[in-house]
Amino acid sequence: MRGGGLLVAGTTSDAGKSVVTAGICRWLVRKGLKVAPFKGQNMSLNSFVTREGAEIGRAQAMQAQAARVEPTALMNPVLLKPGSDRSSQVVLMGKPVGELSARGFFGGPGGSSPGKTLHGGRQKELFEPVMACLEELRSTYDAVICEGAGSPAEINLRRTDIVNMGIARAARLPVVVVGDIDRGGVFAQFFGTTALLSPEDQSLVAGYLVNKFRGDVTLLEPGLDMLHGLTGRRTFGVLPYAHGLGIDEEDGLRVSMRGTVRESVVAPPVGADVLRVAVCAVPLMSNFTDVDALAAEPGVVVRFVDRPEELVDADLVVVPGTRGTVKALAWLRERGLADELARRAAEGRPVLGICGGFQALGERIEDEVESKAGTVDGLGLLPVRVRFAPEKTLARPVGEALGERVEGYEIHHGVASVDGGEPFLDGCRVGAVWGTHWHGSLESDGFRRAFLREVAAAAGRRFVPAPDTSFGTLREEQLDRLGDLIEEHADTDALLRLIEEGAPAGLPFVPPGAP
């Protein structure tokens, strides 16, 4: 028995594909269907480790949670982790298989890891394993909701596409295109996206879904009617702008987003003071969602910063994970942040380093793998030496810290040798400086509260963690809100017909088509 399916494509990156996919998954599972998410190829520095030790995009792990199933490598068989503007590490079925230039991956010469599992670095060679994963999921689940990447109308990449219309054509998946109306120009985006596809691809594009609409939907309806007249395709729903979802994003925050505040619950502090957290927006920042659990605490304000003066009034500074530890170190020094971190440590003011940030706080780094920079001095705030190994550590550790049980996950090439300090989650602590390779540890409620009490004491703040904040419960509530958005603002009967029966026959061709 082969389950139904749907591809959620987008007019642009960040149009809302990830959250719409998660919302559809949650709506379907509440209807009693067994559903799985899928993204053939993902480009993201935000990743997660499954229970079998496979690395996948964190957005797919979030979508699996929305579907109430355990995430697996089948749900994201190809993950690209950028290391620069021109190259990425390629993760195939949860394991790294080489470093490739964009040209090498998308079809031209440029592979930099000869002899690796990825034969010659051609994206098209991954089509068969991607399709095998999709078919395996469809043989197991009632429905598979696939997320596209970027836009299906990226005509320069269509020939080797393994995530948008390439898989839609091969699997005969109906396609719904999501557009972000908050950016403006959504009608042109819908029309242009459709008109740049070949007749064969267009035959699978069933219609559109408007995302992030503000205002009176009746004012939008004449435009939707005109769009239907121009394309012969209907709009399946208009989703309102929803504040405070705080759902995992795919891409790292850019330094240009300095000052961005992580979305958090609107609640006053339990104690007399708030707690201010500054997160250094290092280059190639990965898994910045580690601080989401802090932002979920009443009275904790989390900001991303890139200037030393922005650390002065922070009660806690977090140096987060990064795909480029040596590059992040240079950036911290160039910006003057390294000196401010050293000053904080000397004054006993709290600093937390996570993964690459932990490595940067150490004494020395030997890197012939990631940056190939050789031996580089760290910031010297922790008695740790790091050697980068060719093999990546992928693990789901469980332990104890500050008297509380902690769960986390590890994704790193750096192997840390700790020579002093107090043990802390397989890392160490010296005074008010903590370092660990564990991502996700702050999602453990008891540990997070104990850690924040220590931070507040060291910072001299009368901050008291809320006794009942459950990050897991808050995440479930957010996912339910996504399901509600689909159920209340989309034509769910029509979407279910698409998933079960495929795209309707006779959809008209919109010229000019693919060049």
For 410, residues 6+ apart whose C-beta sits below 8 A from its C-beta are 49, 355, 393, 394, 395, 396, 397, 437, 438, 439
* Contact (CB, 8 A) for 370 and 83: yes
- What is the DSSP code string of 36-73? EEE-SEEE-S-EEE-TTS-EEEHHHHHHHHHTTS---G
* DSSP assignments along 315-363, one per residue: SEEEE-EES-HHHHHHHHHHTTHHHHHHHHHHTT--EEEETHHHHHHSS
List Cβ neighbours of 183 (8 Å cut-off, separation of 6 or more).
12
Instruction: Based on the residue annotation, tell me whether 133 is a catalytic residue of this protein.
Output: no
Query: Which residue, 360, 509, 328, 358, is CA-closest to 425?
Result: 358
What is the DSSP pairing of strand 404-407 with strand 398-401?
antiparallel
The SS3 call for residue 101 is strand
CB atoms near residue 188 (< 10 Å): 12
Beta strand pairing call for 234-240 and 205-213: parallel
Answer yes or no: 355 catalytic. Answer: yes
Query: Shortest CA distance to 357 belongs to which of 335, 332, 391?
Result: 332
Q: Dig out the tokens for 127 from the structure.
A: 């089509």
Report the b/e string of 233-270 with b at 16+ CB within 10 A: bbbbbbbeebeeebbbbbebbeeeeeebebbbbeeebe
Q: Say how far apart CA 246 and CA 261 lie, in whole Å.
A: 11
Question: 146, 280, 355, 428: which one is catalytic?
Answer: 355
Among residues 413, 437, 439, 489, the one annotated as catalytic is: 439
Active-site residue list: 355, 439
